[in-house]
Each structure stands twice: as C-alpha cells, then as structure tokens.
Amino acid sequence: MSLEVKEKTEVRLVFLGAAGVGKTALIQRFLKDTFEPKHRRTVEELHRKVYEVGGIKVTINIMDTSGSYSFPAMRKLSIQNSDAFALVYAVDDPSSLEAVKQLREEILEVKEDKFTPIVVIGNKIDRHNERQVSSEDVLSTVELDWNHSFLESSAKDNVNVLEAFRELLQQATCQ
C-alpha cells in the first residue's frame, strides 16, 4: 500500500496585528500591486487569489483582520480555521510589537500546536528616521526563541511583500 502526500490546493492565511501597522497595505500590495497611504479601518475582509507555487495552483484565502480587538469571537474563529499567520507590527511603533507577542500566545492557545506556521513581519521599514524597534532584537526572539520566520517589509516601497507571502504559502502548504 503506497501513501500519497497530497499538497494543499487551498490555504487560509490570516493577517493579525495592531491597528495601523499596514496589514491591509501588505495585502493590497500583494493582490493588486497598489499602495494607499491613507489608513482605512478594517473590520474583517476576506480576499481570494489563485497563485502558483512550484507548478501547483493554490487558492489563497487571505483574512484581513481588524486591528482593534473588539471582536474576540471573530478573531478566535479566524485562528481556528486558518493554516498560517502573518503577525504584523510597525517598526516605528513598539507597542505594536507587544500586540504581536500577545497574538502569538492567543494563536498557540487556540491551535494547541507549537508548530503553527507563523511569519512575523516588521512593516514600514521605509520610515528610517522613525524606527523604534531594532530588527536584531526581534530576529533573535522570533527565530531562536519562537522558531518562526521573520522579515521586515515596506508595503509602500514594495520591499519583501512577495517574500512574506511566499514564506506563508510554503509553510501553509508543507504542514
């Protein structure tokens, strides 16, 4: 009897983070290659895109969540039904990194799995002069202590946006 390993052809990615860190901007840059500088509050939006990963077409469902935490039941449901998570903070906002730490704890609690695919994204690296969060500190925590992937991005300048999605997809389809 042979055992076939079937690649996932549909994945659900969830973007979580504090308000105003650029979750929607990263998603819009990936989906439409556009950037809207004006912040618009998101409650919860689901986007779909068919994307090719290593010759296999994968339907990506991307959940863009609210940065305000007034919808804990919705967030818990999003976590339960998802394959991989992008935890986004802004490099010019240290409190948004604290939010990422709390969200990670919540994900691990809901998923009851230490190997849940999580990519931590430090966004807004285009704001060089306003940076308040050191990438070295975050890198060691995320990769060494948490065993997750880490990268910094700029939705505005389109830096590492595609790489972030590729990393999420690779982790989501290979679990």
Q: What is the DSSP string of 4-48?
A: PPPPPSEEEEEEEESTTSSHHHHHHHHHHS----S----SEEEEE
pLDDT for 40 equals 77
Q: Where are the domains of the chain?
A: 10-173
pLDDT tens digit sequence for 89-121? 999 999 999 999 999 999 999 998 767 999 999
Task: Tell which CATH classification among 3.30.1480.10, 3.60.9.10, 3.40.50.300, 3.40.50.720 matches the domain 10-173.
Answer: 3.40.50.300
Give residue 175's pLDDT band: very low, low, confident or very high (50, 70, 90). Answer: low
pLDDT for 5 equals 43
Q: How many CA atoms lie within 13 A of 88 on its CB side?
A: 31
Q: pTM of the predicted model, to two decimals?
A: 0.90
Give residue 51's pLDDT band: very low, low, confident or very high (50, 70, 90). Answer: confident
pLDDT for 65 equals 80
pLDDT for 1 equals 41
